Structure 1
Amino acid sequence: MEKLRIVFMGTPDFAVGILDTIYKNNYDIVGVITAPDKPAGRGQKVSMSAVKEYALEKNLRILQPTNLKSEAFLADLKSLDANLQVVVAFRMLPEVVWKMPKLGTFNLHASLLPEYRGAAPINWAVINGETKTGVTTFFIDDKIDTGAMILSKETAIGANETAGELHDRLMHLGSETVLETLQLIESEKATTTLQENQPEPKTAYKLNKENCKIDWSQSGKTIFNLIRGLSPYPAAWTFIKDGENEWNVKVYSASFEEKAHTDTIGKITTTKKELFVAVHGGVLKIESLQFPGKKRMGTHELLNGVKLSENAIAL
């Protein structure tokens, strides 16, 4: 049985949970590859990735290449003498990188492959109203999320669960799955299954301003799923227009009630503490949101300072 020497590659919080599990189970982590530091926020203060913060805390060797094909990076990577690479929420690797270790390079993806290949699998599973999802480990090949699968574990998605809540549960499930995958590889018992070529597997497209905007012509249930699928980040958004005023508003949480009504779609109705939007098939109650220049707040708190007329509408 060959002792594993692991290089870990990842960037966001989701990857930290997996790295922490590998570390706490006393595997030999010979290096951590993560994104370069970059300016962030209004002050453009240089910030480091969540994975780098963790690696610094644990005194792990860190590499932050801007070019994964550069001779300097490849030489540094080779010098680590890893026999296995583990990738979680990183970027597409060139063949020269994923083929380098003797035992290969495997990735943890937060979906039941081949469904939801791509950048945002957790968000899209919720947005599309799925009732189940999971995680998959697979050996990387030359395409995105298409390699031979090692392990797959499934979990239900709650009817009101947000992407943020699901993210945290999948991080734990992913940690267990990566640990089990490492044990199989270490004991030379890992077997793989090729991904089935389904005609049209659902895709986890990269999130952008356009696909995060609420389309009020859709059903209330569809809009509700979009809001929870983008909460807490990057958040669904809409324009709210009231007379001469128009605001770009982020919507973080809502609930949907099916009911018949004759209101114009998008019409906003408020009480002292509540805000409702008329949608196809019912009413959407907005529970927390963020107006420009303000912090995220509950609707009751916002309505203390923002007064909307009976002509207000969501666009």
Structure 2
Amino acid sequence: MRIVFMGTPEFAVASLEALIESGSDIVGVVTAPDKPAGRGQKMSESAVKQYALANGLKVLQPVKLKDEQFLEELRALRADLQVVVAFRMLPEVVWSMPPLGTINLHASLLPQYRGAAPINWVLINGEKESGVTTFFLKQEIDTGHILFTEKITLTGHETAGELHDRLMDKGAGLLVKTVKAVESGRYTENPQEHLAEGIELKHAPKIFKEDCNINWNQPAEKVYNFIRGLSPYPTAYTMLNDKILKVFGAEYELAETGEQPGEFFSDNRTFLKVSATDGFVHLTDVQLEGKKRMGIEEFLRGVRL
């Protein structure tokens, strides 16, 4: 079975590697165009491109997915199946091209948390479980018929970075299982409309910088979930001495503070905590604007509050 793989970030590399190791015939890889990055604005290749080139795979990097030259190159690969992991939304002319269709790996238990940032939103909302889902693509984003899912239990303390790595590995295995099932024809399609009946669906829209500002006027646990759900990227932040303070790590305690939410308290040596509506959030891993990221004791050695 001839497979075209589509993906861009590190999350997708694990799936591509697993498919290759399972013996899948990857006839082409579609990824994002190179883009300038860093202070020197040097052209940067996606993680998927780097892996693909290192393994001798053909790489396509279309700027526009409806570009006729790209579509001709894609048709020429004669794929039986396309596999999408952490890529962009595909037009119908692309996802409908292979005879066996196009499957997608999504980092949530669909139909819950459709959208661009499921890992972040699952933690922000304090969910007790998450997982990965494979499904056939159709026009509306993340709504196609489900093939397989696999659940994991959440601890209530992991960061988005840690959950990313867990789901990356879990998803790679599920994708190999899905591809083998599609190749053999032994699978069942489960319409998401049936699974969504009678339940409240939660969504996972893309998160922008302005969405990352911490609202201290809410319970401490909710603030804590917000911080870990955005760590290490795109990172929750608050203001300290008129500068942006990014918060990568925190803990929380419940207490009757008697203080206004958002007040800072510190002994200038070992702790920095901020009042919420029902307790305090202790900041443990931070980065002040213009400074490097550091643990709270190192941070307090250089900043007088």
- TM-score (normalizing by structure 2): 0.97
CA offsets, 1:157-185, max 9 Å, x none?
11111111111111111011101101111
Partners in 2 of 1:226 and 1:42 — Cα distance? 29
Work out whether 1:176 is the aligned partner of 2:168: no
Shift in Å at residue 293 of structure 1? 1.2
Give runs of aligned pairs for residues 74-93 of structure 1, distance below 5 A. Answer: 74-93=71-90
Q: What residue number does 2:57 align with?
A: 60
Give runs of aligned pairs for residues 149-188 of structure 1, distance below 5 A. Answer: 149-188=146-185
More divergent stretch after superposition (197-206 vs 130-139): 197-206
Identify the match of residue 244 of structure 2 among 243, 248, 253. Answer: 248
CA offsets, 1:172-231, max 9 Å, x none?
110111011011111110210000344641110101012211011121111100000001
Shift in Å at residue 284 of structure 1? 0.7
Identify the match of residue 266 of structure 2 among 249, 267, 270. Answer: 270
- Matched position secondary structure for 1:91: coil
- TM-score (normalizing by structure 1): 0.94
Shift in Å at residue 41 of structure 1? 2.1
Q: What residue number does 2:16 align with?
A: 19
Partners in 2 of 1:36 and 1:159 — Cα distance? 37
Choose between structure 1 and 2: higher helix proportion: 2
Q: What residue number does 1:33 align with?
A: 30
Which letter does structure 2 place at the counterpart of 1:205?
P
CA offsets, 1:237-282, max 9 Å, x none?
11113xxxx1111100000011112122211111212111111111
Structure 1 stretches lacking a partner, 5+ long? 309-315
Partners in 1 of 2:301 and 2:111 — Cα distance? 48
Asked whether the equivalents of residues 209 and 234 of structure 2 are also in contact (C-alpha less than 8 Å), the reply is no
Structure 2 stretches lacking a partner, 5+ long? none
Partners in 2 of 1:123 and 1:70 — Cα distance? 33
Give runs of aligned pairs for residues 135-154 of structure 1, distance below 5 A. Answer: 135-154=132-151
Which letter does structure 2 place at the counterpart of 1:156?
T
Partners in 2 of 1:222 and 1:81 — Cα distance? 49
CA offsets, 1:15-49, max 9 Å, x none?
01111100111211000000000011222221111
Work out whether 1:119 is the aligned partner of 2:112: no
More divergent stretch after superposition (264-273 vs 247-256): 264-273
Partners in 1 of 2:200 and 2:67 — Cα distance? 36
CA offsets, 1:100-132, max 9 Å, x none?
111110000000111100000000000000001
Q: What is the identity percentage for the equivalent residue pairs of Structure 1 and Structure 2?
A: 53
- Matched position secondary structure for 1:227: helix
More divergent stretch after superposition (266-275 vs 13-22): 266-275
Q: What residue number does 2:45 align with?
A: 48
Which letter does structure 2 place at the counterpart of 1:152?
T
Identify the match of residue 7 of structure 2 among 10, 14, 38. Answer: 10
Partners in 2 of 1:123 and 1:24 — Cα distance? 29
Which letter does structure 2 place at the counterpart of 1:204?
A
Partners in 1 of 2:46 and 2:155 — Cα distance? 30
Partners in 2 of 1:254 and 1:155 — Cα distance? 23
Q: What residue number does 1:311 align with?
A: none
- Matched position secondary structure for 1:304: helix
Q: What residue number does 2:94 align with?
A: 97
Q: What residue number does 2:205 align with?
A: 205
Q: What residue number does 1:195 align with?
A: 192
Partners in 1 of 2:188 and 2:23 — Cα distance? 24
Q: What residue number does 1:69 align with?
A: 66
